[in-house]
Chains A and B, each alone.
Chain A
Amino acid sequence: MRIMVVEDDPRLARGIVGSLKAEGYAVDHFGEGVDAIEQSGCEPYSTIILDLGLPDVDGLEVLRRMRRSGCRTPILILTARDTLNDRVSGLDQGADDYMSKPFEPAEFQARVRALVRRGQNAPDPILQVGGLVLDRSSRVATLNGRPLALRRREMAVLEALMTRAGKLMSRNRLAAQVFDHDAEVSPNALEVHVGRLRRKLQPGGPEINTVRGLGYILETP
């Protein structure tokens, strides 16, 4: 799952990006609104975290322009402005959620997870394919009741594939959801992660089949 963070305070941005990455998200950070608007249409972001006090364009204007250009990604406003008026106008301009600084990191993470689910139109935090169960809130995957030890990227690949179980997931789309701009990606990195995950799902789990030239599909045998 890939998340965009638009925040001009570098220290706070480092903190937010760090904690989101630690949760397994691919995260892109932008310090200015113009770049964020441009990028919002290019990558398949699951959620956008938006600060309002930006140096170049006001955050609400960024929000408006993103929505005007057809961006349907859930947006969480994260700002120091916390009057009722600010919250109402933020939500009315098209934001999905609003948090004011300072905030509880645990609550922030939970809201991000909720927004990601909403964006996937899958409100149930439990994803299930055959004997494979992924709890997206606690980030624990089990196969027939036995917990799976997954790395961060493997977890991201699994979550992406499970949200589209039984359907083709193109290679590019999967890569865009798993890797952010900062990730140093070798040409076959995705194949490596998919291969490891495929082995961990056997025996007894669903299979990850490769559709040559197109992508992957997660299916129960």
Chain B
Amino acid sequence: MRLPGLSSLRGRMLLAFIGLLVVLELAVALSAHAILHQSEDSGGSRILLGSLKTVSVAFAEPEPMRSKVMPIALKLLRRRARPITYYSVYSGGRFIAGFPEIRPPRGDEPRLAARSIFGARLPHLSEYVDPEDNVTVVTPAYVRPGVFRGEPARIATEVRRVPGFAQPVVIQIAIEEAVLMKGERESVRYILMAVGLTLLVGVMLYWRATKWAIRPFTDLQAQLESRSASDDFRFKPLTAAPQEAATFITTFNALLAELKESALAVRRFTSEASHQMRTPLAVLRTHLDLVRRYGLASNLGQDGLHDMDGAIGTLERLLLQLISLARAEEVSGQAAFREPFDLANAASSAAADRFEQARAHKVDLSFEGADDGPMISVGQPFLARELVGNLIDNAIRYNRPGGSVVVRVERAAESCRLMVVDDGPGIPVEARELVFDRFYRLPRDAERNGSGLGLPIVRALAERMSASLALEDPPGGRGLMVVVEFMGAATGVGEAPRMKDLAA
């Protein structure tokens, strides 16, 4: 079960503190009670013994003194804070004075152990003998638990010889436990009150203290709340922040930096994309204006129509390629696509898709595959087909009429290789890295429809499938050969993508 207060840091701290405080207070209260009980207990016995001695000494006086002193002694005892009124005097089993219910002891009753709570023997509590009258004492005064009129009581006993009595005289006094320990009950009440009060004050002070303790955290929170809507927000350096939040802060700051980076990348991309759309739009506007003013039949109108068609083609292709790129990069950050698929099948399907396009451009498109069945490699069949399709599209688009495009798949030692070879104009060596930049176009292709996104898409797709990509000169020397190397099924399937791949 989850306590509602536990979602609050201060609540948790307070709860832990209350638990600790209660245990401590309980321990203090219990030991205080034990000490108090001990002191009340031994104090009670001591009072009892003292009282007994008073009565005993008074009774030991010879007559007529005894008859005078006894009432005074009894009266004194009755006037104490804890009045003692019950006594008895027996001699050899014969009742002499006081309350006959207080019978003389048989001798085998347990005596009160006069020991402290730590086990030490307490002096003056048991078998206490006044050195001045020890001559006549037979059994020194002691205390034993007993019952008086049905109530638990404490009885003190002394046996002594008294002039005028043949048998030893047993002098006893009794007091109910309830009366004797009345003080203890009161003290326990005070202890409980003190415990309650300290708990209350402690909790109140601690609640304020927690506010001070978590202030570094509330400061962090304030930093967050006060942040303006900028990407540049970072938590201030760690000197001001609590150590416990160090990981949180560094991670959070790193996350913010990452977010800013990707937001920047997106912004760069959209600005580039919109930049690419401006020129064809300007072409459309300018020529539309000319057509409107000089008519379709005029030379300007005819040229304009042609150029508008081209501009629309550029826009169309740009849009399609943007969608394609978005789709290829959608999965970035997730696990790469690594499932077994038939590369020969994917490549030949892609080539078949482009057959009509090749014929329209008067380009000879052919496929050379392995004849010995499927070529299982690692990747994803639809992505691979799109990749090959983009390469073939480039090879046709930038080729010349009468040119040729060959799509070839072959097995290597631990990989499967796809090659798209054309005999078109090729790409100069110095531009072979540039063509992978988004929107980069070779200056010579300015007149052709193109978005500058085809090869970036191919690279993104290859990365998704952990395939390598290279632009090379074809064996004949003329044109371009694109080589994509897929992992063979035996080497890569099932291998979990490593952190490096995911971060890339």
Q: Is there contact, CB below 8 Å, between A102 and B282?
A: yes
By a CB distance below 8 angstroms, the chain B residues around A8 are 443, 446
List 7 A-B residue pairs with CB atoms under 8 Å apart, sorted by A's residue number: A8-B443, A9-B283, A12-B286, A14-B287, A18-B287, A55-B443, A104-B285
Which of B275, B283, B290: most chain A CB closer than 10 A? B283
Q: Nearest A residue to B276 by beta-carbon distance?
A: A80
Complex-state Cα separation, A108 to B285, whole angstroms: 11
Residue A183 CB within 8 A of the other chain: no
| Least CB distance, B90 to chain A, in whole angstroms | 120
Residue of B275, B294, B447 touching A10 (CB-CB under 8 A)? B447
Q: Is there contact, CB below 8 Å, between B279 and A15?
A: no
By a CB distance below 8 angstroms, the chain A residues around B211 are none
Total number of A residues with any Cβ neighbor in B under 8 Å: 23
Q: Which of A1-43 contact B (CB under 8 A)?
A: 8-12, 14-16, 18-19, 22
Q: Is there contact, CB below 8 Å, between B275 and A105?
A: no
By a CB distance below 8 angstroms, the chain B residues around A16 are 286
Q: Which 10 A-B pairs have the closest CB atoms?
A: A15-B286, A105-B289, A102-B281, A80-B278, A101-B282, A101-B278, A11-B307, A55-B443, A102-B282, A11-B283
Q: Report if A103-B290 is in contact (Cβ < 8 Å); known contacts: A10-B446, A18-B303, A22-B300.
A: no
Complex-state Cα separation, A101 to B275, whole angstroms: 9
Residue A81 CB within 8 A of the other chain: yes
Residue B293 CB within 8 A of the other chain: yes
Q: Nearest B residue to A7 by beta-carbon distance?
A: B279
Residue B310 CB within 8 A of the other chain: yes
Q: Report if A22-B294 is in contact (Cβ < 8 Å); known contacts: A10-B446, A101-B278.
A: yes
Residue of A12, A22, A81, A108 touching B283 (CB-CB under 8 A)? A12
Q: Report if A80-B447 is in contact (Cβ < 8 Å); known contacts: A15-B307, A105-B289.
A: no
Total number of B residues with any Cβ neighbor in A under 8 Å: 25
Complex-state Cα separation, A81 to B282, whole angstroms: 13
| Least CB distance, B306 to chain A, in whole angstroms | 9
Complex-state Cα separation, A130 to B276, whole angstroms: 51
Per-position 1/0 for A78-114, Cβ under 8 A of B: 0011100000000000000000111111101000000
Q: Nearest B residue to A21 by beta-carbon distance?
A: B300
| Least CB distance, B339 to chain A, in whole angstroms | 42
- Other 20 A-B pairs with CB < 8 A, given A14-B307, A101-B282: A9-B283, A10-B446, A11-B280, A11-B283, A11-B311, A12-B279, A14-B287, A15-B287, A15-B307, A16-B286, A18-B290, A19-B289, A19-B300, A22-B300, A55-B446, A80-B278, A101-B278, A102-B282, A103-B285, A108-B286
Residue B488 CB within 8 A of the other chain: no
By a CB distance below 8 angstroms, the chain B residues around A10 are 446-447
Complex-state Cα separation, A105 to B294, whole angstroms: 14
Complex-state Cα separation, A10 to B283, whole angstroms: 9
Complex-state Cα separation, A100 to B293, whole angstroms: 23
Q: Report if A11-B310 is in contact (Cβ < 8 Å); known contacts: A80-B275, A101-B279.
A: yes
Q: Report if A102-B290 is in contact (Cβ < 8 Å); known contacts: A9-B279, A80-B278, A80-B279.
A: no
Q: Nearest B residue to A99 by beta-carbon distance?
A: B282
Complex-state Cα separation, A19 to B300, whole angstroms: 8
| Least CB distance, B216 to chain A, in whole angstroms | 40
By a CB distance below 8 angstroms, the chain B residues around A101 are 278-279, 281-282
Residue B304 CB within 8 A of the other chain: yes
Complex-state Cα separation, A176 to B416, whole angstroms: 65
Q: Nearest A residue to B314 by beta-carbon distance?
A: A11
Complex-state Cα separation, A110 to B411, whole angstroms: 65
Q: Is there contact, CB below 8 Å, between A81 and B285?
A: no
Residue B284 CB within 8 A of the other chain: yes
By a CB distance below 8 angstroms, the chain A residues around B284 are 102
Q: Is there contact, CB below 8 Å, between B446 and A19?
A: no
By a CB distance below 8 angstroms, the chain B residues around A14 are 287, 303, 307
Q: Is there contact, CB below 8 Å, between B304 and A15?
A: yes
Complex-state Cα separation, A55 to B279, whole angstroms: 15
